[in-house]
């Protein structure tokens, strides 16, 4: 089985976010970038298939040279090779087209993507890849087993879980539950050294349709001031909730 894991290069959630050029550009200065958490769950599951079933695992990112340290981390975790499509990831549909072309050329059986990235939270790329490839698709995936060309997946739905049976080729949008946080892997020194020897192939992008563009960014409103009420002063609390907050 040949697996391709999609890796998004996203800001760490602890990073302080700023914008430049009239709030039209994201300011990368001082920002630490990491593997998108949903993608990391998928990569860890792919490593399980590699170790238990002898699968080949490669990772892909659509982006510039600045994303290569993130791909190298994926290689250090255990992926066999990496591919970087040399174009900025500014539009979900264009990204899906680039990845779908690589999948078609590479003959992959299973594509594992995160259900969404934590920067733009578009949640569109995995489904678009499946649509372009005319492959089966399961999103919000929290469990995946593969037996030959047959797959069984569990996905979250409103109010519960759904178990589905399907077949390869398959695209999934994974999330926490595909593996547990305790299963995530930290690259060790041996893995880091081996990653330097593994192939990281840069491919030029195909012509792709750009359907969207970010016009402007805006930060959430700052948190308002708070008032602390003595726990014994119930009357004042009720008065403020009624007359100031107007919630009762």
Dmax over CA atoms of the chain, in Å, equals 70
Both tokens of 50, joined, read 């590699």
Give the chain's mean pLDDT: 94
pLDDT of residue 33: 94
Q: Per residue in 193-225, pLDDT tens?
A: 999 999 999 999 999 888 888 899 998 888 888
pLDDT of residue 247: 86
Q: Per residue in 97-144, pLDDT tens?
A: 999 999 999 999 999 999 999 988 889 999 999 999 999 999 999 999
pLDDT of residue 21: 92
Task: Provide the H-helix boundaries in 22-63.
Answer: 37-53
Separation between Cα atoms, residue 164 and residue 1, nearest integer Å: 20
The pTM of the full predicted model, rounded to 2 decimals, is 0.88
pLDDT of residue 224: 80
Distance set, CA 174 to CA 133, 136, 210, 218 (Å): 18, 14, 25, 28
The domain limits of the chain are 2-220
Separation between Cα atoms, residue 165 and residue 174, nearest integer Å: 16
Interhelix angle 92-106/125-133, nearest 10 degrees: 50
Q: Per residue in 166-184, pLDDT tens?
A: 999 999 999 999 999 999 9
Sign of CA dihedral 20, 208, 80, 137: positive
CATH code of domain 2-220: 3.40.50.620
Phi, psi of 125 (to 5 degrees): -65, -50
Neighbours of 165 (CB within 10 A): 8
Q: How confident is the model at residue 161 (pLDDT cuts 50, 70, 90)?
A: very high
Q: Per residue in 56-83, pLDDT tens?
A: 999 999 999 999 999 999 999 999 999 9
């Amino acid at each position: 089985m040949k697996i391709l894991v999609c890796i998004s290069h996203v800001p760490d959630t602890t990073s302080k976010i700023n914008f430049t050029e009239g709030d039209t550009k994201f300011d990368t200065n001082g920002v630490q970038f990491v593997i998108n958490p949903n993608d990391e769950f998928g990569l860890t599951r792919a490593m399980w298939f590699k170790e238990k079933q002898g699968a080949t695992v490669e990772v892909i990112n659509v982006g510039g040279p600045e994303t290569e340290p993130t791909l190298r981390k994926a290689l250090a975790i255990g992926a066999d090779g990496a591919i970087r499509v040399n174009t900025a990831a500014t539009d979900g549909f264009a990204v899906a087209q680039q990845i779908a072309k690589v999948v078609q050329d590479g003959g992959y059986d299973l594509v594992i993507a995160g259900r969404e990235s934590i920067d733009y939270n578009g949640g569109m790329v995995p489904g678009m890849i499946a649509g372009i490839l005319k492959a089966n698709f399961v999103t919000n995936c929290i469990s995946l087993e593969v037996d030959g060309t047959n797959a069984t997946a569990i996905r979250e739905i409103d109010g519960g879980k759904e178990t589905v049976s399907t077949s390869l080729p398959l695209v999934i949008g994974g999330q926490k539950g595909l593996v547990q946080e305790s299963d995530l892997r930290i690259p060790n020194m041996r893995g880091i050294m081996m990653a330097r020897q593994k192939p990281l192939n840069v491919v030029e992008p195909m012509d792709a349709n750009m359907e969207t563009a970010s016009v402007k960014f805006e930060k959430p409103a700052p948190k308002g001031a708070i008032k602390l009420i003595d726990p014994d002063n119930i009357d004042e609390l009720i008065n403020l909730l009624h007359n100031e907050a107007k919630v009762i």
